[in-house]
Structure 1
Amino acid sequence: MPSARGTLDWMPAAEHPELLAPPVAAAVGEVDGALVAAIDADLADTAAFCDAYDVALGASANCVVVAGRRGGETRYAAVMVLATDRADVNGVVRRHLDARKISFAPHDEAVGLTGMEFGGITPVGLPEGWPVLVDDAVVEAGEVVIGSGTRGGKLLVTGVDLLALPGAERLALTRRPD
């Protein structure tokens, strides 16, 4: 039966910085009890990861970086949603960030600004001042698997613990897929 822990060997994240991107290693103490597991980097994408390691799709939370623009200013934010859901980026997220225009941050921009690998970006260790918008379903999910900043690792945290991150806010961000 798939679960958040799946078939992975979880270890205290603070004791394994080699599995974390440098900004994540520096900030992982902000998330009580964060665990980390090594994975095959070729299996880092959500569907492949969940299938290979018997992790429930509903226990996998994705982090997307969005860029909101208003009056020539660009503001970035991280949006956390379960893999089974889609964030209402053009509605809820855009209005919450008071942006006239919003989009997913381009690949190179997201990687360069976060210091993390694409496909492993996580809300832990993001640049100072970035909002971390955590969907209600992530908070209520209990244990969730998120990125470690690298494609070769995953973090196991609780959705509630994500709210302790700097700039974290709980919101109703999603709409159920069609």
Structure 2
Amino acid sequence: MEETLHWQPAATHTELLAGPVAEAVRALADDDVHVAAIDPGLADTAAFCEKYGVALDESANCVIVAGKRGGEVRYAACMVLATMRADVNGVIRKRLDVRKSSFAPMAEAVELTGMEYGGITPLGLPADWPILVDSNVASHNRVVIGSGVRRSKLAVSGALLAGLKGAEVLDLATGA
């Protein structure tokens, strides 16, 4: 049985967000950022979409990718629709200008972002990280993304994600 999501303005419900995400939402001052509480056991995309009746192509995942160049680790946050996969060893590797790239280890991603695994979102990430937004995400009127914690989700426009500081819109997804 589907459960109903109760969307509320995120700026007035920052208790549902990770600290860095709450700061980013307040700085945005955008009324079109909404948050809904969810069962934290259903934060993973497939389980969330099934339980709450959200289509997979209306849900976007944020994956943290890391690569090394000259001993320096370079990170990027990559936003792709849940129906697609990030092209980690093609477009993303080239954008980071590294020889090899891969998903950042879970513990590292959690520590560096200040967010919970399964809730990482592009809002509130370290300022020097590029946010690579797949063109399919950027063109959406509304996508559901993480909130920095597993107990809630955010709903934002693709245009908002594409307009974040450090964001770049690229064709970085392949079919799932």
* Residue identity opposite 1:84 in structure 2: T
**Residues 31 and 114 of structure 1: CA distance in aligned 2, closer, same or farther (over 3 Å):** farther
Tell me, which stretches of 5 or more residues in structure 1 are unaligned?
A: none
8 A contact 2:59–2:143 mirrored in 1: yes
Letter of the aligned partner of 1:82 in structure 2?
A: L
Contact 2:11 2:29 in 1 (8 A): no
How much has 1:100 moved relative to structure 2? Answer: 1.2
Give the fraction of aligned pairs with identical amino acids, expressed as a percent. 64
Tell me if 1:18 matches 2:15. yes
Structure 2, gaps ≥5 residues long:
none
Per the alignment, in what secondary structure is the counterpart of residue 169 of structure 2? strand
- Alignment partner of 2:108: what SS? helix
Partner of 1:118: 117
Residue 67 (str. 1) matches residue 71 (str. 2): no
Question: Any residues of structure 2 matched to 1:1-178 within 5 Å, and which?
Answer: 7-29=4-26, 30=28, 32=30, 33-177=32-176
Write the deviation string for residues 37-57 of structure 1: whole angstroms up to 9, x where unpaired.
000000000000000000011
Distance apart, 1:90 and its partner CA = 0.3
Q: Secondary structure at the match of 2:143?
A: strand
| Pairs aligned (count) | 173
Alpha-carbon offset, residue 95 of structure 1:
0.4
Q: CA deviation at 1:7?
A: 2.7
Q: Which runs of 4+ in 1 moved over 6 A?
A: none
